[in-house]
Structure 1
Amino acid sequence: MQAFDLHQHLIGRQGSRRDLNTPALVVDADALERNIARMAAFAKASGLSLRPHAKTHKSAAIARRQIDAGALGVCCAKLGEAEALTEAGIDGILITSPVVGAPAVARLAALAGRAKGLMAAVDHPHAVAALAASGAALTLVVDLDPGIHRTGVASPEAALALAQQIDAAPGLSFAGLQFYCGSQQHIEDFAARREAIVERTDYLKSVIALLTEHGLEPKIITGGGTGTHAIDAELGVFNELQVGSYVFMDKQYADCDLVGDGAQAFETSLLVDARVISANHPMLVTVDAGFKAFATEAGPPPVVSGAPDGSQYRFMGDEHGALIPPKGVAPPALGEVVTFAAPHCDPTVNLYDAYHAVRGDTLVDIWAIEGRGRSA
């Protein structure tokens, strides 16, 4: 791991954060731990289980901290992520995307033999038949389409038919339902987000009622997210939350009123440190973090520190970004470190092989991102 080779000697040395080779993916360990503790306390007070989504961080070190705080396990978006975290000793994994195709089914069957508490989501009868034919003992949840037509069965009747198929198949166990309203998570206004989730939760209730009527009451109702966690708890239908981004709080979630009071419920803990590498123009300087340093679909990264208030970032290519201070204000000098927040945390994390955990200005540890690139 290059990050460890480059920076092992900096661990524990006061002020060592400034000496990181940049761009560097940084985690404020104190803020991260507070975020994990706050969500764990919220879930406990609400009578909910937590199975946080590890697609956000892809890291056994962070998953262990979530489990130590009370989580049942974690979710993984892809089979490869689940394999990587299982290899690192993480139990209680739910794979939230359908596993389809003979090679993937064989891998899932093999993983089930060594992964304690493994579950997987399904949304098609052919996929269930293939899993049954694998001969593996598998616990499955039926994925419901919340209306975006990405994954999930399309009707309550289809959910019932799939649950019945699972229940009848030797080796397969029906555990419950998965319902993730992804398009509602980032509605910035709390009241508008609540209205949208209430409507979708009514639909979820109709599916639960149909399954229960036919003797297949789902024991697990899993889903929700950082954007809707407070609403989901209030509505009382979910018994397990798949919150993910709360650990980091990227710009997309920081722009949302999460709990209805206008205050930030969680802290920004995921950061990218960059360095000024060219300073030949009075109106801007160039930093060493471009398209390869940040996810780009959510806009430019916010400036956190190291530059005058009001400074703006602009992408300038794969390796470079422009830092533009307010008119009449001098930009940072050559060699200065500028810290940014992630526009979108999950794909930003996937660009790096390790986190640099810091407390204040000191590097305290380096954590591998085991699930990085494990998208198959």
Structure 2
Amino acid sequence: MTDEELHGHLIGRQGSRRELNTPVLIVDLGALTRNIDVMAGFIAKHDVKLRPHAKTHKSPEIARRQIAAGAIGACCAKLGEAEVLAAGGITGLLITSPVVSPPAIERLAALNARTVDLSCVVDNPVNVAALGRVCDVATPLRVLIDIDPGMKRTGVASPEAAVALLAAIRAQPSLVYAGVQFYCGSIQPIADFRERAAAMEERADYLRTVIAALTEAGGAPGIVTGGGTGTHQIDPGLGVFTELQAGSYVFMDSQYLACELTGDDAGSPLETSLMIDARVISANVPGIVTIDAGIKAFATDAASPIVLSGAPAGSTYTFMGDEHGAVSWEGGRTPVLGEIVTLGTPHCDPTVNLYDTYHVVAGDTLRALWPVAARGRSR
């Protein structure tokens, strides 16, 4: 059965969150809205724009809420995500990974013809030539030079390579050079604020050398996009970025909650809005219960999920296989079969990709079902 068939009749019913089939992906609407508003307020105080990364939520509905709060569009990790968001009416899309295969380039050109303000990144002259052959001069494709910040994942590896790529782009009438991308993904989860700020400042110094080389070649970038949730408090002060790509701020998974985001003792201005509700299905072993959420319910590339509620204070979660997890249960009340245990997501992006639907709640009441529309659109 679909989530709509299982749960559609529960929308608006008081206390209906307790009636959901588990495990289930939950979004707290109030917390989500506050996070969107907090980031919008921060951006409004600085000379940057926000193009949030939709690889986090994969949802046109959430993207619309971000744009209504002032975002200029959305970033997409893959072409498939961009196709879904464009079909949902989202414009101002930036594809942040190179699009290189012949069938994907054909799709990219078609998408560029039917949406507004689409951009993609490039890091290789061969890819630039391929894009130039397929794209239409009547609707030229905007491209940004992807600069490797030291991750050795994608991006040109030197100022000289950036300048050479600029020349390759300018040789293609169907392409328009729009700027550069510089995303320091490995810096985002550094827990200590000062260490994270120092790392970004060092990388920004390198970025300045690339921008200087491009400017000397007549290619001063109109857009310098990058940054993220972990560095959003740092990036505007560097004086190089024109827009930020922060995405996880809408949900605040365990990785980012462990980061000192602001550099003071005020605590995070952002809060957990994404969680998994599971149920106790066995309680035969003293000090432990089994719940119906295992490896298939969470991303496993980070620390284990955190127990948010429904179990004694200090309870911890351990994976127990594909379908099951164990929650420590020391002291307090006796566990009851079927009761809800709520857990935080250890890494929101791949966890979201495991589910078809957001179950949007206000308190204990289901308010809406939002499709994870770009789930699995990794090509």
TM-score by length of 2: 0.97
Contact 1:306 1:332 in 2 (8 A): no
Q: Give the whole-Å Cα distance in 1 for the aligned partners of 2:284 and 2:75.
A: 47
Which position in structure 1 is the counterpart of 2:326?
Answer: 322
Q: Give the whole-Å Cα distance in 2 for the aligned partners of 1:49 and 1:194.
A: 20
Which position in structure 2 is the counterpart of 1:82?
Answer: 82
- Work out which of the residue numbers 260, 264, 267 in structure 1 matches 2:268: 264
Which position in structure 2 is the counterpart of 1:252?
Answer: 255
Q: Give the whole-Å Cα distance in 1 for the aligned partners of 2:48 and 2:87.
A: 28
Q: Give the whole-Å Cα distance in 1 for the aligned partners of 2:13 and 2:63.
A: 26
Gaps in structure 1 of 5+ consecutive residues:
none
Q: Give the whole-Å Cα distance in 2 for the aligned partners of 1:166 and 1:39.
A: 34
- Work out which of the residue numbers 278, 283, 286 in structure 2 matches 1:282: 286
Instruction: For 1:276, give the aligned amino acid.
Output: V
Q: 1:229 aligns to what SS in structure 2? A: coil
Cα deviation code 1:202-261 (max 9, x no counterpart): 001111111111111100000000000111011121010000100000000000001101
How far residue 265 of structure 1 moved from its aligned partner, in angstroms, is 2.1
Q: 2:295 aligns to what SS in structure 1? A: coil
Q: Share of identical aligned residues, percent?
A: 62
Which position in structure 1 is the counterpart of 2:211?
Answer: 208
How far residue 330 of structure 1 moved from its aligned partner, in angstroms, is 4.7
Which position in structure 2 is the counterpart of 1:181?
Answer: 184
Q: Give the whole-Å Cα distance in 2 for the aligned partners of 1:331 and 1:86.
A: 50
Q: Give the whole-Å Cα distance in 2 for the aligned partners of 1:115 and 1:125.
A: 25
Structure 2 counterparts to residues 92-107 of structure 1, below 5 A: 92-107=92-107
Number of residue pairs matched by the alignment = 375
Q: 1:211 to 1:15 in 2, by over 3 A?
A: same
Contact 1:140 1:175 in 2 (8 A): yes
TM-score by length of 1: 0.98
Q: Give the whole-Å Cα distance in 1 for the aligned partners of 2:362 and 2:22.
A: 18
Cα deviation code 1:315-364 (max 9, x no counterpart): 001010001123x4455311100100000000000000010010111100
Structure 2 counterparts to residues 53-68 of structure 1, below 5 A: 53-68=53-68
Contact 1:324 1:331 in 2 (8 A): no
Instruction: For 2:329, give the aligned amino acid.
Output: P
- Work out which of the residue numbers 225, 233, 236 in structure 2 matches 1:233: 236
Contact 1:284 1:331 in 2 (8 A): no
Q: Give the whole-Å Cα distance in 2 for the aligned partners of 1:261 and 1:291.
A: 36
Cα deviation code 1:158-190 (max 9, x no counterpart): 111111211221110000000000110011000
Which position in structure 1 is the counterpart of 2:226?
Answer: 223
1:347 and 2:350 are equivalent in the alignment: yes
Q: Give the whole-Å Cα distance in 1 for the aligned partners of 2:216 and 2:336.
A: 68
Instruction: For 1:23, give the aligned amino acid.
Output: P
Q: Give the whole-Å Cα distance in 2 for the aligned partners of 1:98 and 1:303.
A: 38
Contact 1:52 1:242 in 2 (8 A): yes
Which position in structure 2 is the counterpart of 1:47?
Answer: 47
Instruction: For 1:341, give the aligned amino acid.
Output: G
How far residue 135 of structure 1 moved from its aligned partner, in angstroms, is 3.0
Contact 1:55 1:77 in 2 (8 A): yes
How far residue 297 of structure 1 moved from its aligned partner, in angstroms, is 1.2
Cα deviation code 1:112-141 (max 9, x no counterpart): 111211100111000000000003320000
Q: Give the whole-Å Cα distance in 2 for the aligned partners of 1:17 and 1:312.
A: 23
Contact 1:282 1:331 in 2 (8 A): no
Q: Give the whole-Å Cα distance in 1 for the aligned partners of 2:97 and 2:180.
A: 13
Gaps in structure 2 of 5+ consecutive residues:
none
Contact 1:23 1:288 in 2 (8 A): yes
Q: Give the whole-Å Cα distance in 2 for the aligned partners of 1:369 and 1:244.
A: 15
Which region of structure 1 is more displaced relative to structure 2, 55-64 or 277-286?
Answer: 277-286
Cα deviation code 1:87-113 (max 9, x no counterpart): 111111100000011111111011111
Q: 2:298 aligns to what SS in structure 1? A: coil
Which position in structure 2 is the counterpart of 1:172?
Answer: 175
- C-alpha RMSD of matched pairs (Å): 1.0
1:193 and 2:208 are equivalent in the alignment: no
